[in-house]
Amino acid sequence: MNTTLAGLAAAATALVATAASAQMQNPTVGGAEMFADKTIVENAVNSPINTTLVAAVQAADLVDTLSGPGPFTVFAPTNAAFERIRDADLNDMLKPENKAFLQQVLTCHVVSGEVMADAIAGMIASSGGSHPVETLGGCTLNASRDGNRIMLTDENGRVANVEIADVDQSNGVIHVIDRVLLPKQ
């Protein structure tokens, strides 16, 4: 009888572990699987909706930084977010002579530490509905919520919505957003 109970307990433990593993699986980004054991850059290059971001990170010479140990929280604009910027402005931003500005723009999407969506929501709630977020680029974003959706407002009043939250990485977390955030102009 003990052997049967031990077998059932082992089977139940395995079932719980499998269910927990399935619940903790990373969301896909643009249909691409994201791996928690890969870096932010390693995962981003596989996302078909973040190719402009990857090109910008390369042009800004930030690949090594975002491949480093971190941890980082990255608010990652989609290709559609970059398409909201006028072509001429985006092309200017990507020019080698504008690398410092591009670096600032991109690092205004990066926060030191790994901050998951529930922690952001908690900070918003404990701060009375909005919470300032200091970025590595020297920008202050304002985090707020509309229902369950987390929003970030830059210093120019541009609002980005978190479309995909909590994409775990080996060196941090990515939250996919629908707008490029800019430093104060």
Q: Residue 163 sits in a domain of what CATH number?
A: 2.30.180.10
pTM value is 0.84
The CA distance from 93 to 60, in Å, is 10
Domain assignment of residue 158, yes or no: yes
Q: SS3 breakdown of the chain: % helix, strand, coil, rounded to 5? A: 40, 25, 35
Taking only the tens place, the pLDDT of each residue in 23-65 is 458 888 988 899 999 999 999 998 989 999 999 999 999 999 9
Please tell me what DSSP assigns to residue 32. Answer: B
Domain assignment of residue 185, yes or no: no
Host domain of residue 87? 2-177
Domain assignment of residue 184, yes or no: no
Number of domains comprising the chain: 1
Domain assignment of residue 182, yes or no: no
What is the pLDDT at residue 30?
A: 86
Structural tokens at position 30: 């643009």
- Point out which residues pair with 72 in neighbouring strands: 112, 172
Give yes or no for a cis peptide into 71 (omega within 30° of 0): yes
With cut-offs at 50, 70 and 90, classify the pLDDT of residue 86. Answer: confident
Domain assignment of residue 31, yes or no: yes
Q: At what angle do helices 51-59 and 99-107 cross, to 10 degrees?
A: 130
The CA distance from 150 to 54, in Å, is 23
Domain assignment of residue 53, yes or no: yes
